[in-house]
Amino acid sequence: MQLMGIIACLTGLVIGGFFAAVASTSASAAENIKLGLIEPFSGPVAAVGIDALQAFETVAEQVNAAGGVLGGRNIEIVGLDNAMSAEKTTQQLKKAVDMGLKYIIQGIGSNHALNIIKFVNKHNKRNPDKAIMFLNHSAVTTAFTNELCSFWHFRFDANVDMKVAGLVTQMSRDSSIKKVYMINQNYAYGKSFQAAARTLLKERTPGIELVGDELIVPFGKVQDFTPYIAKIKASGADTILTGNWGPDLVRLVKFAAGANLPAQFYTIYGGLTSSVAGYGADSQKVTLKQVNEYHENHDGLSADSMAFGDSYLAKFQDTWYSDRQRWLILMLAEAIDKAGSDDPIAVGKALEGLTFQGPLGEVQMRASDHQIQMQLMVSSLTGEYARPIMYKGNDFHIAFATDGTISREDTTLPTTCDMQRPY
């Protein structure tokens, strides 16, 4: 009996130890909520991807320092390099599935966002118990929250139509604009910009003539913009309306500056700090405007956005640019706590209709199409400023000044979304 008691005791210890180890492993596995960030960390636009990683990690650190989510779980950003390749995007999605990630963040390149939407929809239909949610911070092709809308996709940035509405609304306030030349990148996003601009120019600026409309091969393939500059000059355009970004915008601006082109730029992404670094001294030879949700010299920014921008600048010597990256993480954290779970369906329900105090006022995640509704502003590069644009410790002696703000009423557009929900 004594031997049987010892065996029972040892068996209990072994079983108890086993379950303790399992519990410990489970607790460790549950410690962090991992968000896979699929962006280019190598290749021609790596600087933009690396900046995004730095930004998301910084916001996650802020959430974690405040106690995390669900009573103490941390948010962890997992960088997954797609090198701006469709094949590598798919590879990284499969890797994310193998890692058991429930959330994917992406925004650099609408063609890659489209691949993610299709992959996630198919994966979730086949694996409803292992659902993945896609959190989109900057891929702005309008169709993603119209005919391609999905419960599994949430966009935290204004879409192309909203941004173009902001630019064109500001253009309607400038009576000196008579002739506009458009140049865009020949892929989903650029074509979306082109279509929106054609429609909105007619609706909101009927007195302005569209004198040129070009599509170029995207992502740094065009090295010499001289032929395009010549065509713009010949057209008599006083304004260039472009969705170009990255090297395609940097080179366009530099060639325009070199040719003393007498036309101003209305852009979506002209203010990316990596792009301002690329313009260099040429940024002071052109009139360049951008539409976005934040810049550090705007009067009336929310206290939270200003404080974050100041801390980001102090830490990295980089000017804060995409405040939507901040509110993506903060709204997700709030939704997770509201849901009481990191389950994507529960979190998705909690995100629908959720509001947040953005830099220019309240933003809201519209439930019908998962498109954020927000204010925008148009601003111009200027040599007169309180705070200069900084990038990697370099002061470019230039910054943005606000030309005008665009209300939510002017950027809130109808949707054709007919969303199919998984519940």
At 240 the pLDDT is 98
The pLDDT, as a whole number, for residue 8 is 40
Say what the pTM is. Answer: 0.90
- 91: exposed, middle or buried (Cβ count in 10 Å: 0-12, 13-18, 19+): middle
pLDDT tens-digit series, residues 48-88? 999 999 999 999 999 999 999 999 999 999 999 999 999 99
List CB contacts of 216: < 8 A, sequence separation 6 or more.
Answer: 183, 184, 185, 186, 222, 228, 244, 248
pLDDT at residue 190 is higher than 50: yes
- In this structure, the answer to whether residues 218 and 271 fall within a common structural domain is yes
Query: Burial letters for 115-143: b for 16+ Cβ neighbours within 10 Å, e otherwise?
Result: bbbebbbebbeeeeeebbbbbbbbbbbbb
Whether residue 20 has pLDDT greater than 90: no
> Would 136 be classed as within a structural domain?
yes
User: Does residue 38 sit in the same domain as residue 146?
Assistant: yes
- Note whether residue 323 is domain-resident: yes
* Within a domain: 6: no
pLDDT at 26: 42
Q: What is the number of structural domains in the chain? A: 2
* 21 domain-assigned: no
Domain interval for residue 238: 161-297+375-410
Q: Kindly state whether residues 267 and 386 are assigned to the same domain.
A: yes
Predicted pLDDT at 48? 93
Domain containing residue 315: CATH number: 3.40.50.2300
Reported as a single tens digit per residue, the pLDDT across 353-393 is: 999 999 999 999 999 999 999 999 999 999 999 999 999 99
Kindly report the average pLDDT of the chain as a whole number.
93
Asked if pLDDT for residue 12 goes beyond 80, the answer is: no
- 174 lies in the same domain as 263: yes
Evaluate whether 344 touches 103 at the Cβ level (below 8 Å): yes
The residue-averaged pLDDT of 119-124 equals: 98
DSSP code per residue over 315-330: HHS-----HHHHHHHH
Mean pLDDT of the region 214-239: 97
User: Within a domain: residue 45?
Assistant: yes
187 lies in the same domain as 281: yes
**Structural domain includes residue 417:** no
1-15, 113-127, 159-173: range with lowest mean pLDDT = 1-15
Percentage of residues of the chain with pLDDT beyond 70: 93
Check pLDDT > 90 for residue 301. Answer: yes
238 and 90, same domain (yes or no) = no
Q: Are residues 278 and 180 in the same domain?
A: yes
**pLDDT tens digits, one per residue of 271-281:** 999 999 999 99
pLDDT per position as a tens digit, 390-399: 999 999 999 9
Q: Average pLDDT of 129-157?
A: 98
Q: Are residues 271 and 212 in the same domain?
A: yes
pLDDT at residue number 99? 98
The type of residue at 291 is V
Q: Which residue has the higher pLDDT, 338 or 27?
A: 338
| pLDDT value for 30 | 60
Band the pLDDT of 5: cuts 50, 70, 90.
very low
423 lies in a domain? no
**Bridge partners of residue 381, in order along the sequence:** 400
Show the tokens assigned to 248: 């395609």
Domain match, 152 and 207 both: no
230 with 187, same domain: the answer is yes
pLDDT at 21: 41
Residues 191 and 48 in one domain: no
Residue 271, helix vs strand vs coil: coil
* Consecutive H or E run containing 183: strand 179-185
Over range 187-193, report the average pLDDT.
94
* 13-27 average pLDDT score: 41
* Average pLDDT of span 245-270: 97
Domain match, 280 and 404 both:
yes
What pLDDT does 28 receive?
Answer: 42
In a domain, 17, yes or no: no
The pLDDT-based confidence of 413 (bands split at 50, 70, 90) is very high
